[in-house]
Homo-oligomer: A and B are copies of this chain.
Amino acid sequence: MRNAVTLKDVARETGVHVSTVSRALGPNAHNTLTEQVITRVRDAAARMGYVPNRLASGLRTNRTMTVGMMIPDITNPVFPPMVRGVESVLEPLGYASIIVNTDNLVEREHRLADILRERGVDGIIHAAVLRHDPRIDAIVAQGTPVVTANCSLASPDIPAVVSDDAHGIHLMLHYMYNLGHRAITHIAGPEELSSGQIRRKAFIDAAEGLGLHLPDGAIARTDRFDEAAGHRAAQHLVQAGPPFTAILCASDRLALGAIDYLRSRGIDCPAQVSVSGFNDIPMLDLIPPRLTTVRIQPFEVGRVSAQLLLQIMTDKTAACPRETVLPVSLVVRDSVTVAPDRPVSTA
């Protein structure tokens, strides 16, 4: 922005007033200006390489044409497609996105929320919410539209776009059940993330619906959605849990970690224990045993979130669905198969 061309420069060049230039360059120039002036100004602007200064216009109008996106970690393969989904609707309209990674750390989240506030973002797509988050409530109260993507807040009034986690778990558990599994365990994600909590509850509900008994220790909780946590949880299940023939995992990476642990113990998946994932991250079909999982649509989650946000940003009074649920589907591959005769147990 050193020696940028400003409205004033274009005005001087064309011999009209700055405000006339401003109008001529605006979208509804034709309501108020001569065709002749419009073309003259626009030509000059183009020729001179004029680029509007959004800082200045934003300061004046309170619209920065910039949105914030808070995600846990762009390194997690679920999020890049979401980012592109958001971009697919916002970018053609001239919006830019500031992306921040919270690492699911509250302090970081607060700092980053301020970074976004300082820049006066027109709205925030929040894919990293902890279930309870007063800071976000404050931002909303302050007037900035927020949509949560891939997760939802405990507090209502904030639109959420989520995948049908409960249905995904339901599908998977029934699939396992129909293959003869009766002793099914669960590796759950972090409880402070809505996906972790919802998937765990859905597992319990679906098990109940099938009349399946869940003994103590059938559910192993984790503090992260990654391979290491899956590894530890599987170890815990094998060493301290009930006998089982299948593990339904709350995410693909948990499943990968679990399978890795089982292999290290000489337990074969799927011959001895079936293991399922959730999300269907890329390349999964290349890794043996090819993971049977639940496919979510991260790009769609991003796209729909952005559309919703756009709607609220454009017309704050617009009614907006509290929760938009996107469908999921069962992806049958190799890691879940018919139940073996004897479960794996501690003994």
The one of B84, B98, B101 that contacts A74, using a Cβ cutoff of 8 Å? B84
Segment at the B interface, from A8-16, A59-67, A304-312: A59-67
Alpha-carbon distance between A169 and B286 when the two chains are bound, in angstroms: 25
Query: Does B2 lie within 8 Å of A144, measured CB to CB?
Result: yes
CB distance B51 to A114 under 8 Å? yes
Does the CB pair A119–B80 fall under 8 Å? no
> Are B56 and A59 in contact, with the CB atoms below 8 A?
yes
- Name the CB-closest residue of B to A113: B51
- 7 residue pairs, one from A and one from B, having the closest CB atoms: A2-B143, A1-B120, A75-B80, A74-B80, A286-B287, A54-B118, A55-B59
Output the nearest chain B residue to A56 by Cβ-Cβ distance. B59
A288 interfacial by beta-carbon distance below 8 Å: yes
Q: Which residue of B lies closest to A2 (CB)?
A: B143
B2 x A119 contact (CB < 8 A)? no
Which chain B positions have C-beta within 8 A of A31?
A: none
Chain B residues with Cβ below 8 Å from A62 are 1-2
A283 within 8 A of B: yes
Q: Using a CB-CB cutoff of 8 Å, which residues 28-80 of chain A contact chain B?
A: 49, 51-56, 58-59, 62, 64, 66, 73-75, 77, 80
Oligomeric state, in copies: 2
Assess whether A99 is interfacial by the CB under 8 Å rule.
yes
- Bound-complex Cα distance A132 to B250 (A): 46
A156 interface residue (CB < 8 Å to B): no
| A96 at interface by CB-CB < 8 Å | yes
Kindly list chain B residues whose C-beta atoms are within 8 Å of the C-beta of A317: none
In the assembly, what is the distance between CA of A98 and CA of B66, in Å?
Answer: 9
Set of chain B residues within 8 Å of A138, measured between Cβ atoms: 49
Q: List residues of chain B with CB within 8 A of the CB of A288.
A: 288
Please state if B115 and A94 are interface contacts (CB–CB under 8 Å). yes
- A74 and B83 contacting across the interface, CB-CB below 8 Å: yes
Mark each residue of chain A from 281 to 307: 1 if its CB lies under 8 Å from any CB of chain B, else 0.
001001110000000000000000000
Q: For the complex, what is the distance from the CA of A77 to the CA of B288, rounded to whole Å?
A: 20
Docked complex Cα distance between A150 and B189 (Å): 35
Q: Are B53 and A120 in contact (CB under 8 A)?
A: yes
Q: Does B3 contact A143, Cβ atoms closer than 8 Å?
A: yes
A153 at the interface (CB under 8 A from B): no
* A268 at interface, CB cutoff 8 A: no
Query: Given A51-B117, A59-B56 in contact, is the A75-B64 Cβ separation under 8 Å?
Result: no
Alpha-carbon distance A40/B138, docked complex (angstroms): 24
| A246 cross-chain contacts in B, Cβ below 8 A | none
Pick the contact of A286: B58, B99, B119, B256 (CB < 8 A): B256
Interface check A87, CB cutoff 8 A: yes
